[in-house]
Amino acid sequence: MALVAGVPFLELLLKQLRGKGIRQVVLGTGYMAEQIEDFFQDGTGLGLQIQYSCEQQPLGTGGALKLAEELLSDPVLVLNGDSYVEWSMTGMSKLLDEKAAEAVMVLHEVPDLSRYGSVTFDLEGRVLEFVEKGSRAGAGWINAGVYLMRRELVAALPAGKPISLEKDVFPGLLGGKVYGLASDGRFIDIGVPADLERAQTLLAPAASDRRD
Give the 3-state secondary structure of 34-71.
HHHHHHHCCCHHHCCEEEEEECCCCCHHHHHHHHCHHH
Looking at the domain assignment, is residue 212 inside a domain?
A: no
Q: Which domain holds residue 96?
A: 3-207
Residue 210 has pLDDT above 60, yes or no: no
The reply to whether 156 falls in a domain is yes
d(CA 24, CA 49): 5
Q: At 133, phi and psi to the nearest 5?
A: -60, 135
CATH code: domain of residue 175: 3.90.550.10
Could you tell me if residue 176 is inside a domain? yes
Is residue 167 domain-resident? yes
**pLDDT tens profile 149-205:** 999 999 999 999 999 999 999 999 998 899 999 998 888 888 777 777 877 877 776
pTM listed for this prediction: 0.90
Q: Would 39 be classed as within a structural domain?
A: yes
Number of domains present in the structure of the chain:
1
Residue 157, domain member (yes or no): yes
Reported as a single tens digit per residue, the pLDDT across 68-103 is 999 999 999 999 988 889 999 999 999 999 999 999
In a domain, 150, yes or no: yes
- Which DSSP letter does residue 115 get? G
* Alpha-carbon distance values, 158 to 55, 105, 167 (Å): 15, 22, 15
